[in-house]
Amino acid sequence: MSKNIEFNRDDYELIQEATDIIKKHYRKHWHSVGCALLTSDGSIYTSFNIDATVGRIAVCAEPIAIAQALKDGKNRFDTIVAVRHPDPEKGHDKYEIIPPCGMCREISTDYDMDIGVLIETEGKTRKMKMRDLLPYKYTR
């Protein structure tokens, strides 16, 4: 596992952007996770997940943000973060940074092996390389 990467002002802004997008677009059972992606040139892309009646066609927030950046010709990424909206019925009573799922780890590193990710672990927010959350990555 790699060392934690030092936080900077952009990281706190990114967390706030992810929180703001899900606050604005939360819809119970449909949209519960917000994401913010910082590209290497300083651009920020935000998105939220889209759920579906048939669960396997749901799309996480992270690949949507990545697709938006790619659409604008951005292909170098700095940091990504996902924030879950509170859901007291499930025991989540505040906005929380959540780790990316396995598929989001895979797609993030497919597009930039050096992308950083903000996660909560052991009661602390940490910044690390996404590739360290996905050891022995499949490559073509």
Which of the residues are catalytic?
A: 62
Q: Which helix (H) or strand (E) holds 58?
A: none
Q: Give, in degrees to the nearest 5, the angle at Cα 99 between 119 and 15.
A: 50
- Spatial separation of the C-alpha atoms in residues 39 and 75, rounded to whole Å: 8
**Listed residue (19, 23, 55) closest to 36, CA to CA:** 19
To which residue do tokens 């996404």 refer? 130
